[in-house]
Structure 1
Amino acid sequence: MIADTLTGARPTQTTRREEIKVVVGASVGTVLEWYDFFLYGSLAIFFSSHFFPAGSATAGYLASLATFGVGFVIRPLGAVLFGRFGDKAGRKATFLVTIIVMGTSTAGIGALPSFQAIGWASPVLLVSLRMLQGLALGGEYGGAATYIAEHSRADRRGFTTGFLQTTATLGFLLSLGVTLVCKAFVSTEDFASWGWRLPFLSSLILLAISTYIRTKLSESPVFAKMKAEHRLSASPLKDSFLVWQNVRSMLVVLFGAQAAVGLIWYTCNFYTLYFLTTTLKVPTGQAYGFVVVMLVFSLPLYVMFGWLSDKIGRKWIILTGCGLAVLTFLPIYTNLSKAVNPALVAFQQTVPIRLAANNCSSGLFSTPVSACDRARDYLTQAGLSYQVEAGAQDGTLVTHFGNLAIGGFEPTAYKKALTVAGYPVSMDIKRVNRPLMFGLIAMLMIWGAMAYGPMSAYYVELFPAKIRYTSISVPYNIGAAVFGGLAPFMSTAIAVKTGNVYYGLWYAIIVGGIAVLIGAIFMRETRGRDVAE
């Protein structure tokens, strides 16, 4: 067992075997939590039509992404509820509650009736389940980071918590893997109809395994020592939010570290899959395969950068990864298009598309009504960039495909015009420049790992032990919700509104760049601090 914390022993006496047990026990549940959370985003393109009214494919997908974002927006409330619980009742008990809530909510999505079956109750229940997932995840990360760090030696804290940082990638990887397995045994038509439910329902198996493992863990030695010495905070929320020094640290975490890291990680990992499938038209199975390879490549990087932060410090590794990502997003994604679908890029360069109209609406979720709205929806689904310009006084839509002009909107006419202009209806997987593609995605994975790898150790060292769970969870989850969770939606929405498939990246570039600047000025180095105080 862990050294007797009641006699004042510090967590530095934890043996290597016990350290492994702690890391595995804390991380396995967090993997499930991320699996459940990312599963929704991975499958949104398949089930968006089941839970929302029939109409625009783009509107339905955007509504699904917005609902994905709702799960992030509710996370700060989960951070407050479970953070307080973790600082008063203990780390272990909080683990069990969060994982049960997350697992059952995910299974509930798999069993949820469609819009056609129960009407508006379907999206309402979907949002409710996403909110429960967000509450659970809001209380998970801060506890897991605290639990592992409080068992670790100061000179190994970045290394051990680096394994926790792999859980988001492992959860994403697991969600893709389970989806691919289900697709292998279910036809494409059946998967779109009902097979997408199987990965959600399979979370019940993972829930049972994770719950069992967590019941075998002991309490954090730092928490046990504080409890024995009657040093627990009587009011974690008051001590967190009414002490200026602590509030300052939380603000720096929120607007500096977490804003940057949240945006960079999601754009480097999650957005890559969306871009391959939706914009570059890579078949889903192939795109999943490409991303899975690179996710596996990235796993040891989180531990490596965590270990490196034990040697040279946390702050500048984090900010360097974020800064490099901000500077290279546009060239990486632009060249990724050339590597993956050169025919589509060549078409866009030689056949500019212009929509001349005066009645394009500003609604993102409404069903397209005007000819311009329906044309934009069609082009977005085709992965094509376009420009919208002033049209004729009578409001008639005129679409220019290079030198070819089409009046009004009619799908058959658009399809014929694009074919005549040379639009590649399907991408040629044989023309993919795989070395270049994998190299570009590898750069994204490296930036994401640099930014995310040392984060747990940095957060734990920044805050006092008696309010650590709350103080980590609140800014982390607000930042993840506002900046990271809404990134897929904001990027997609900006691309749709501007008509340029690359312009969605400016959300991450501008907001991430500001956050890096704030972090460079106000973040303090924390390496080596005593986490028992």
Structure 2
Amino acid sequence: MSNAPTSTLPLADAPASAPTSAPVTGGVTVARKAAVAAAAGTAIEYYEFGIYGYLAATIGPLFFPSDNSTASLLAILAVFGSAFLMRPIGGIVLGRLGDRIGRRAVLLVTVIGMGVATAAIGVLPVAASAGLAAPLLLLLIRLVQGFFAGGEVTGAAAYVAESAPSGRRGFFGAFTPVGVAIGGALAATVCGLTTSMLGSDAMTAWGWRIPFLSAIPMVMISFLVRKRVEESVAFQQFQQHNEPPKAPLKEVFSQHTPAVLKVLVLSFGQNVGYWVGLVFMNIYMTTYLKYDKATVYWIMAFVSLTMAVLMPFWGGLSDRLGRRKVLAIGFVGYTVLVVPMMTLMDQQSIGLAFLAMLIVALPMPIVQSVGYPTYAEQFPTRVRYSGMAFSFNLGAILGGGVTPYVATALIGATGNLLSPAYLLMGGSAIALLGLLRVRETAREALR
């Protein structure tokens, strides 16, 4: 009896002699639990990255004292980017473990590792008391965070895709980036509360530590949620009939190089959209446009929560229309909206700035919600974790790790406040070109 997949589309990334597998699906209850567990852990990752980005202008002079505020900001953003350099290494190590022993165990490790590292920043000494040791310790902790982050969001996305019913991977997969948006909203909310309650002087003196230490209860909740779920359906079926790969990353390079390149390019565009289109906008409005920090934090919290609500809609729509069409809508949206909305922000009206921020963020839930299930569908179960982790994290370095720094440096070098917009437009254009090489996978069974 033939075990060929029901789809007539070619499996472009599979070797010609590789056996195919029967469709792997999970029930709605299983998928719902997997989606909640994925979102809970991913929220921790993006809470940490969010508070660091939102507080960059506050903590920059504390760890990198300078008479030039732009120099301090660039230094703290360089340390921010250092975490992204560790993400591929974390993806290699944690992805290999995920492909050999299972997704669930690794996802428990990542959420604990990121949470503990985040809280550790809250107890660091600053340069005034520790000198050079302060920025070095900050750099070390950021590298640890990057290592664990390298296996978090991609592992969560793989876990949900492998647990979702056939034809609904887009809808349930959208809950992984719901965690991204909720994490960003929590970061903005905590920063907004502490800034409003303490004032700028107390915030600079010691209040900045509170958002980092607040990660501790969040980690405990996320760990308990993930501890209650089982291994993904697809990985359990894979284990029943196959030996785990001895060198999954080697297999990824030898058999799935086209998939690596596709995910890398799409991930680059996705990360530019998030880190320039959302996180950098906080720096843009507070540092360059001089809007009140607490007010901007509340704007970011509202925008992030609104984007979280929209994500399941776009993920479900991609199940019906296809991943490629919906992703194209998102990347075109970034290209069209960013310049007029950044111009609107620069009208010295907080109401207009809020409206512009809400509009410029609209492509974010489209790209985020559809991107993760698309990445999962590019690799077979036996190497899905490793393939996603490595390729996505390379794109994250280029699109996320360096873009806040580059955006700030561009403004400093050119004096043009719109220069980050062209960075976002370029990233979206590259992703659109890469999308032309991606086949439609919404209606295919997972391999």
Report the TM-score when normalising by structure 1. 0.77
1:247 counterpart letter in structure 2: T
Q: Displacement, 1:327?
A: 3.0
Q: Displacement, 1:175?
A: 0.7
1:253 counterpart letter in structure 2: V
Q: Which residue of 2 aligns with 1:158?
A: 170
Of 260, 267, 289, the match for 1:258: 267
Q: Does 1:527 align with 2:447?
A: no
Of 458, 462, 468, the match for 2:378: 462
Q: Which residue of 2 aligns with 1:453?
A: 369
CA-to-aligned-CA distance 1:332-386 (integer Å, 9 cap, x gap): 2112212xx0xxxxxxxxxxxxxxxxxxxxxxxxxxxxxxxxxxxxxxxxxxxxx
2:328 counterpart letter in structure 1: L
Q: Displacement, 1:10?
A: 6.7
CA-to-aligned-CA distance 1:162-193 (integer Å, 9 cap, x gap): 11111111111101111222234423311111
Q: Does 1:285 align with 2:294?
A: yes
Q: Displacement, 1:36?
A: 1.5
How many Å separate the matches in 1 of 2:361 and 2:116?
31
Q: Does 1:45 align with 2:54?
A: no
Conserved? CA contact 2:277–2:424, under 8 Å: no
Q: Which residue of 2 aligns with 1:96?
A: 108
Q: Does 1:444 align with 2:370?
A: no
How many Å separate the matches in 2 of 1:441 and 1:116?
36
1:527 counterpart letter in structure 2: A
Of 371, 377, 392, the match for 1:476: 392
Conserved? CA contact 2:276–2:420, under 8 Å: no
2:56 counterpart letter in structure 1: A
Q: How does 1:146-225 map to 2 (within 5 A)?
A: 146-225=158-237
How many Å separate the matches in 2 of 1:89 and 1:35?
28
Conserved? CA contact 2:126–2:134, under 8 Å: yes
How many Å separate the matches in 2 of 1:13 and 1:472?
21
Of 335, 339, 343, the match for 1:334: 343
Q: Does 1:63 align with 2:75?
A: yes
Q: Does 1:12 align with 2:25?
A: yes
Q: Which residue of 2 aligns with 1:76?
A: 88
How many Å separate the matches in 2 of 1:503 and 1:123?
29
**Structure number with bigger Rg:** 1
Q: What is the percent sequence identity of the aligned residues?
A: 31
Q: How does 1:368-447 map to 2 (within 5 A)?
A: 431-432=349-350, 434=351, 436-447=352-363
Distance 1:198 1:438, change over 3 A: closer
Q: Which residue of 1 aligns with 2:11?
A: none
2:444 counterpart letter in structure 1: R
Q: Does 1:313 align with 2:326?
A: no
Unaligned runs of 5+ in 2: 1-20
Which moved further from structure 2: 264-273 or 119-128?
264-273
CA-to-aligned-CA distance 1:430-479 (integer Å, 9 cap, x gap): x54x3x44443232222112222111211111111100001111111110
Unaligned runs of 5+ in 1: 1-7, 342-430
Q: Does 1:302 align with 2:302?
A: no
Conserved? CA contact 1:10–1:221, under 8 Å: no
Q: Does 1:240 align with 2:252?
A: yes
Q: Which residue of 2 aligns with 1:121?
A: 133
Q: Does 1:105 align with 2:117?
A: yes
SS at match of 2:290: coil
Conserved? CA contact 1:73–1:482, under 8 Å: no
Q: Which residue of 1 aligns with 2:99?
A: 87
Aligned length: 427
Q: Which residue of 1 aligns with 2:156?
A: 144
What CA RMSD, in Å, does the superposition of the two structures yield over aligned residues?
1.8
Conserved? CA contact 1:87–1:469, under 8 Å: yes
Q: Displacement, 1:519?
A: 2.2
Conserved? CA contact 2:23–2:445, under 8 Å: no
SS at match of 1:94: helix
How many Å separate the matches in 1 of 2:286 and 2:138?
24
Conserved? CA contact 2:191–2:297, under 8 Å: no
Q: Displacement, 1:153?
A: 1.0
CA-to-aligned-CA distance 1:223-264 (integer Å, 9 cap, x gap): 112112124222201111122xx1011112212x11211112
Conserved? CA contact 2:38–2:179, under 8 Å: no
How many Å separate the matches in 2 of 1:119 and 1:501?
33
How many Å separate the matches in 1 of 2:399 and 2:419?
17
Report the TM-score when normalising by structure 2. 0.91
